[in-house]
Structure 1
Amino acid sequence: MLIIRNAASGTAVVRADPADTFATRLPEAVVQELAEDEDLADAVLSAMASDAPPVVLGVYGGDGSVSRMAALARQYGRPLLVMPGGTFNHFARSAGIADVDTAIDALERGTTVAVSAIEARAGERGAILALNAVSLGAYPELIDERDRRRASLGKWLGGIVAAWRALRTAEPLTIVRNGRRAHVWSVFVGIGRNDPDRVATMQRETLVEPTLDVRIHHARGSRLRAVASLAFGKRTAAVLRALGLMPPRLDVERLVVGEFELTVRPGEGHPSVYVHDGELEEQPPAGFTLRCVAIPRAVEVFAPPPGSTKG
């Protein structure tokens, strides 16, 4: 087994180092810590080309690291061991993987789930696999602003500053879908059905359903509602809804489809970007066409049996 640790993941939260757990419960695993200048795909390629290629690929990191490793597990036909080590760990939570020990328990039992995923393709570039969501508009721009401030302020404070700036300067994004132009605050394309009351489809309710749950937040309200709509925590969203800060249902168009395509026209002041599982992808300044397809049984993931975990 190969386990990749992403040293850059989860720096905004405090958690115990899993090294002792790896040594005790997975003594035969090869654990490699990925430095900032190292590429995950290169590390896996090297391991797969060795005389004893791993039969399981494991990752300890956040959603971005998990989705990248999922793509590699799919490429090499290996099951994936997901161990939450990021800030939000959306996919791990959807899979019922609360911590490293829960993941290893599933590995020891051999219980797996054939997880559906999003295959996203922008322009002529290669396809990207996402396990949670692909997003356009306010959320990617907030991530872009946060990442530019991350070196000086850190991820958490950089995010606060980015959100404050968005409250003051956010502008609607122009998209074209089925020949019709629309001005939107954001577009979220989630895999599997999500909470119908939220705009940010970051927490899938099922691992196996090969369905895209799309939320298009049309730009009919204020910047405050545009930023508030990005809340993906259940409690935070409930509080914002109680305060009347979430967008009304009529402003949010919902589609449940197998594939989804649109063209993005960034316009002045908008970076040409989209986000998949928290990872920013820059695109040509003039705009791009994004196509998302739901892929059934994309990757086999070790996970607890349904109903075996709390919460």
Structure 2
Amino acid sequence: MGTIDGMWNASGRGTGIRKRLGALDRRLFRSVADAHLPGLDRVLPRLSRAADNSLLWAAIAGGLALTGRKRMRRAATRGMLAISLASPVVNLLGKQAFARARPSIVDFPLARLGRIPSSHSFPSGHSASAAAFATAVALEAPARVAVPVAVAAGAVCFSRVYTGVHYPGDVLAGTALGVTAALITRRLWPGQTVIGDARVAATAPLHDLDPDGEGVVAVVNNAAGHDPWTAAAVRKALPGAEVIETEPGDDLMRCLKEAAKRARVLAVAGGDGTMNCGAQAAMEHGVPLLPVPAGTFDHFARTLGIETIEEAADAYRSGQVVAVDVGEVAGRVFLNTASIGIYPSVVDLREDWEKKIGKWPALVLAMAGVLMRDRSPLELVVDGVRRRVWLLFAGNCAYESRGIAPTRRDRLEDGVLDIRMLTAAGRLPRLRAMVTTVAGGLGLSRHYSQWRADTLRVAAPGDPAGEIRLARDGETFTVPGPVTLGKRPRSLLVFRPGA
């Protein structure tokens, strides 16, 4: 009986707390209703309506994307991703679970009364979307952009009380959910790879470089990225350099090797796929590589601390050359990652669609297409052990965090491969394969494993020809198996910004 009495007492205390919080919420609402803030009676209702269906945030995201700056595009993308997480949680789960009635508008000032929605009151969907977008933007954008967005989000949250459609408690709960959704996006879509202080092996600096770039041969891959002015920007930053432009369909590797033959410094402008081709050409001819970020992700250049063409030119003039590791598979190098399984299939589909709809929409559709197909895991022999593999990932040097899509590295010269594998215990249907892949991406699946080594040997007995489809730094190719993934420690000389 004591236990039952305790339960009743606990229940009574819980009910009492809820009543007191509800009363406080109503008093705060009435205080706002009785307040008169000159000039805001016209502004806040309009701002509240502008945020209907997240139209205000979509407009701001569009403006950020149109700046053309990568940080702004990332801020816009993360902001809309955060809203897409917060909105269904609030509207499909929160409001239905609590079913709280809207505030009473008796004696509420009609001049600022907003349109009363038919949905339940708790939590506030407008506040969740505003907080999700503002927090996500703050994770990517500089303060001069993040602060005005945060002020706008705060004004929208306050407007929901000031126009009589929500209690303060609804707004606070929605805000908390929005902030949480924005933080979750960092697990689903990791932050930038820009760290700039990744450990490297120092070498003797180059002091006799021409500041205008004489002796530099710069190869600009016009098939990478979306900026048609990259070559012009390189010529402006290094007016003495020889600049060679390649177009879609050109033999990029041949061009890079010919440029490396006569170059004192080989500069390469493009994405990560272009950069690993440049690294291979630079290593073959014994010249240092100057990475010029001009692609979609530019993981390698950003890890070195180079985000722009101007920063690449400054790194060249500093003369600071360092030695970094490269990975190698089937006679080809990789600077970031190599993988087998689902990811090469995603890259193949993305390349088929991106010319028609753009890279980001193509990537989303490719991921959905691969995961929803009636696929089976690959039959592989990994370091002598037969496995059923959804995805096998090998990173050049150790990456931070768990999961199948890490992006950050503290070192570029540790001599190891960072290996992550997602396997299947039995024949999984498509839905369970998708769930396993997502859970593995968060590092939580029991079929996920991770280790570090200097080599990885893979064979494909399940393929009639024994061939293996690989992706390295976003580029795909097929090779006869078995293959060995290994390291070439401190074998690439590369410029990085001076201290």
Class of the TM-score when normalised by the shorter of the 2 chains: 0.7 to 0.9
Q: Secondary structure of the equivalent of 1:250?
A: coil
* Partner of residue 246, structure 2: 34
Q: Is the 8 Å Cα contact of residues 263 and 290 (structure 1) preserved in structure 2?
A: yes
Deviation of 1:179 after TM superposition, in Å, equals 3.1
Deviation of 1:256 after TM superposition, in Å, equals 0.8
Written as runs of structure 1 = structure 2, the 5 A alignment for 1:258-297 is: 258-265=454-461, 272-283=468-479, 288-297=481-490
Written as runs of structure 1 = structure 2, the 5 A alignment for 1:101-120 is: 101-120=310-329
The gaps in structure 2 that reach 5 residues or longer are 1-215
Q: Is 2:421 the partner of 1:228?
A: no
Deviation of 1:272 after TM superposition, in Å, equals 4.4
Letter in 2 for 1:120: V
Letter in 1 for 2:388: H
Letter in 1 for 2:311: T
Written as runs of structure 1 = structure 2, the 5 A alignment for 1:164-203 is: 164-169=368-373, 170-203=375-408
Q: Is the 8 Å Cα contact of residues 2 and 54 (structure 1) preserved in structure 2?
A: yes
Q: Secondary structure of the equivalent of 2:249?
A: coil
When normalised by structure 2's length, the TM-score is: 0.52
The CA RMSD measured in Å over matched residues stands at 2.5
Q: Is the 8 Å Cα contact of residues 191 and 204 (structure 1) preserved in structure 2?
A: no
Deviation of 1:37 after TM superposition, in Å, equals 2.0
Deviation of 1:151 after TM superposition, in Å, equals 4.1
Q: Which fold has the larger relative contact order, with Cα–Cα distance below 8 Å and residues 6 or more apart in sequence?
A: 1
* Partner of residue 266, structure 2: 57
Structure with greater helix share of residues: 2
Q: Is 2:285 the partner of 1:76?
A: yes
**Cα distance in 2, alignment partners of residues 226 and 138 from structure 1:** 12
Deviation of 1:63 after TM superposition, in Å, equals 0.2
**Pair 202,229 (structure 1): closer, same or farther in 2 beyond 3 Å:** farther
Deviation of 1:98 after TM superposition, in Å, equals 1.3
Deviation of 1:191 after TM superposition, in Å, equals 1.0
**Pair 71,80 (structure 1): closer, same or farther in 2 beyond 3 Å:** same
* Partner of residue 143, structure 1: 347
- 1:243-277 deviation digits (Å, cap 9, x = unpaired): xxx35153221121111111124559xx9411011
Letter in 2 for 1:292: L
Q: Secondary structure of the equivalent of 2:348?
A: helix
**Cα distance in 2, alignment partners of residues 23 and 171 from structure 1:** 49
Q: Is the 8 Å Cα contact of residues 5 and 33 (structure 1) preserved in structure 2?
A: yes
Deviation of 1:156 after TM superposition, in Å, equals 2.7
**Pair 175,274 (structure 1): closer, same or farther in 2 beyond 3 Å:** same
Q: Which moved further from structure 2: 215-224 or 128-137? A: 215-224
Deviation of 1:201 after TM superposition, in Å, equals 4.3
Q: Is the 8 Å Cα contact of residues 166 and 223 (structure 1) preserved in structure 2?
A: no
Identity value in percent: 29
Structure with greater strand share of residues: 1
**Cα distance in 2, alignment partners of residues 84 and 175 from structure 1:** 35
Alignment length (residue pairs)? 277
Q: Is 2:224 the partner of 1:9?
A: yes
Deviation of 1:17 after TM superposition, in Å, equals 2.6
Letter in 2 for 1:57: L
* Partner of residue 360, structure 2: 156
Letter in 2 for 1:219: A
**Pair 31,229 (structure 1): closer, same or farther in 2 beyond 3 Å:** farther
Q: Is the 8 Å Cα contact of residues 82 and 301 (structure 1) preserved in structure 2?
A: yes
* Partner of residue 237, structure 1: none
Partner of residue 214 from structure 1, selected from 402, 407, 419: 419
Deviation of 1:48 after TM superposition, in Å, equals 5.0
Partner of residue 87 from structure 1, selected from 296, 299, 311: 296
